[in-house]
Amino acid sequence: MITLSVIKADTGGFVGHSAVHPEMMRTAEAELQKRKDKGIIEDFCVGRVGDDIALIMTHRHGVDSELVHGIAWEVFQATTAVAKELKLYGAGQDLLKDAFAGTIKGLGPGVAEMEFEERPSEPVIVFLGDKTSPGAWNLPVYRMFADPFNTPGLVIDPKMHGGFDFEILDLRENKVARFHTPSESYDLLTFIGSPSRFVIRNVYQPGGTEPVATTSTQRLSLIAGKYVGKDDPVLIVRCQSGLPAVGEVLEAFTQPHFVEGWMRGSHCGPLMPVGFDQANTSRFDGPPRVVAYGFQISQGKLVGPRDMFDDPGFDKARQTALEMAEMMRRMGPFEPHRLPLEEMEYTAMPEVMRRVADRFKSAAPVVHGAARSR
Ligand code: F6R
Ligand code: MG
Ligand code: MG
């Protein structure tokens, strides 16, 4: 069995919240190389999107390994030290606690992991999103695994014809539930259509126990009880041979959809698929974007990455996303561009309300019909 762990954190931005400084990337690579040389991990790739560093690691320690989570914690301490030294923005932003205590979950970084038996050929895509939140994956993952207009394999490939099981997490109640598609698609859509509350956590083959796709489902705002940064999400998808083909998985990003995040974590904007060299969130601190790291896993080694959105085939999606961004930006501080109050990650509303509280008087009761004429 091999475990693929992707642990992602913002430990400092260059410049502002737009990107990661190359020195931080070098530090993360050097730290992971030391662990690989010692044989603690099989292989690694340091990925990036916007101001987030993603530690993509293969190892034999299973999911939720204290050892592997501890390594990620140490690497992020090292990148934070670089960020502090260069006075980069928000140094150590996602490290919410001072000390590591057995798991990195709940400490700030986003985590997606899966353990599986390596197939004769194992193509995997790791998606990294910035300036958005875990619910952003709901729509594309549904398209990949449940929509035959996106994934003809659901109709054509006998190995996929039985559909898939989706496990969703209720972020508010902290409960999980499993739904089979296509038979329970409408039930599933009832929930995942509200991505700020219900997020897809895992996808399985029918009745399966080994995930074929998994997401990071932390929400920093819920962890910390107040705004501490965006909970920029990770998605891992295994592809081919009875699973969606690489092209079917990527196709799910060709019709950009609106997600929560963008400027100040308080806006609705399109999720734009970009290549590695366009992974810098600059315009209005965005727009929200996704990069795709493609690998073939071979005896635990990460053969890759290939930049999967580096294809003119996605130019139209990028253009569409920009048009959607223009339309939204015209709304300025109005909904639906600005998120509804309860979804805004940090807001001046309570302070404004307090300051003008005594201006709000009881409105006169509305009087209708005969009563009014008296
Ligand atoms: C959104 C994000 C940025 C910041 C914004 C203000 O996830 O990280 O849009 O919210 O740049 O940042 P501060 O409050 O640090 O000045
Ligand atoms: Mg940041
Ligand atoms: Mg970020």
* Phi/psi of residue 276, nearest 5 degrees: -55, -40
Element (H, E) at 139: helix 138-146
Q: What per-residue confidence (pLDDT) applies to 108?
A: 85
Tokens of 202: 């895992």
From 142, 147, 165, 230, the catalytic residue? 230
Indicate if 231 belongs to the active site. no
Give the residue whose CA is nearest to atom 14 of ligand 1: 264
- 16 Cβ below 6 A of ligand 1: yes
Q: What per-residue confidence (pLDDT) applies to 372?
A: 56
The CATH class that applies to domain 1-116 reads alpha beta
β-strands 272-273, 267-270 pairing: unpaired
Ion ligand 3 — residues with CB < 5 Å? 10, 50-52, 130, 232
Q: Tell me what the mean pLDDT of segment 139-157 comes to.
A: 98
Q: What per-residue confidence (pLDDT) applies to 231?
A: 73
Q: What per-residue confidence (pLDDT) applies to 224?
A: 62
Q: What per-residue confidence (pLDDT) applies to 60?
A: 98
Task: Say whether 359 sits in a helix, a strand or coil.
Answer: helix
Indicate if 230 belongs to the active site. yes
β-strands 272-273, 289-298 pairing: parallel
Q: Which atom of ligand 1 is nearest to the CA of 285?
A: 9
- 264 Cβ below 6 A of ligand 1: yes
- 263 Cβ below 6 A of ligand 1: yes
Average pLDDT of the chain is: 93
Give the residue whose CA is nearest to atom 3 of ligand 1: 264
Ion ligand 2 — residues with CB < 5 Å? 10, 13, 17, 51, 90
CA 232 to chain centre: 5
Q: What is the pLDDT of residues 60-106, one digit of tens each?
A: 999 999 999 999 999 999 999 999 999 999 999 888 888 888 888 87
- 285 Cβ below 6 A of ligand 1: yes
- Residue 373's pLDDT band (cuts 50, 70, 90): low
What is the sign, positive or negative, of the torsion defined by CA atoms of 330, 283, 324, 217? negative
**CA 260, 134, 32: angle at the middle one, nearest 5?**
125
- Residue 35's pLDDT band (cuts 50, 70, 90): very high
Distance 51 CA to ligand 2 centre (A): 5
* Domain boundaries of the chain, sorted by first residue: 1-116, 119-341
| Alpha carbon distance 200, 207 (integer Å) | 16
Indicate if 43 belongs to the active site. no
Q: What per-residue confidence (pLDDT) applies to 44?
A: 98
Distance 294 CA to ligand 1 centre (A): 29
Distance 2 CA to ligand 2 centre (A): 32
Q: What is the pLDDT of residues 221-262, one digit of tens each?
A: 666 666 555 578 999 999 999 999 999 999 999 999 999 999
Query: Higher pLDDT residue, 107 or 193?
Result: 193
Give the residue whose CA is nearest to atom 4 of ligand 1: 264
Q: Which ligand is nearest the CA of 265, by number?
A: 1
- How many Å from the N-terminal Cα to the C-terminal Cα in the chain? 82
Widest distance between CA atoms in the chain: 90
Q: What is the pLDDT of residues 284-330, one digit of tens each?
A: 999 999 999 999 999 999 999 999 999 999 999 999 999 999 999 99
Q: What per-residue confidence (pLDDT) applies to 230?
A: 53
Distance 273 CA to ligand 2 centre (A): 19
- Residue 360's pLDDT band (cuts 50, 70, 90): very high
Q: What per-residue confidence (pLDDT) applies to 220?
A: 63
**Which residue(s) pair with 260 in the sheet?**
268
Specify whether the backbone of 231 is left (phi greater than 0), alpha (psi in -120 to 50) or beta. beta
Q: What per-residue confidence (pLDDT) applies to 227?
A: 54
Exposed, middle or buried: residue 98 (CB in 10 Å: 0-12, 13-18, 19+)? exposed
Q: What per-residue confidence (pLDDT) applies to 366?
A: 75
Distance 185 CA to ligand 2 centre (A): 36
Look up the pTM and report it: 0.95
The half-sphere exposure of 110 on its side-chain side, counting CA atoms within 13 A, is 33
| Alpha carbon distance 245, 121 (integer Å) | 13
Distance 88 CA to ligand 1 centre (A): 13
Q: What per-residue confidence (pLDDT) applies to 350?
A: 75
Q: Tell me what the mean pLDDT of segment 31-49 comes to.
A: 98
By the 8 A CB rule, do 167 and 270 touch? Answer: no
- 265 Cβ below 6 A of ligand 1: yes
From 8, 10, 130, 165, the catalytic residue? 10
Q: What per-residue confidence (pLDDT) applies to 256?
A: 98
| Alpha carbon distance 194, 72 (integer Å) | 31
From 64, 89, 157, 227, the catalytic residue? 227
Nearest CA to 304 out of 291, 313, 288, 315 is that of: 291
Query: Higher pLDDT residue, 372 or 133?
Result: 133
CB atoms within 10 A of CB 224: 15
Q: What is the pLDDT of residues 188-207, one digit of tens each?
A: 999 999 998 899 999 999 99
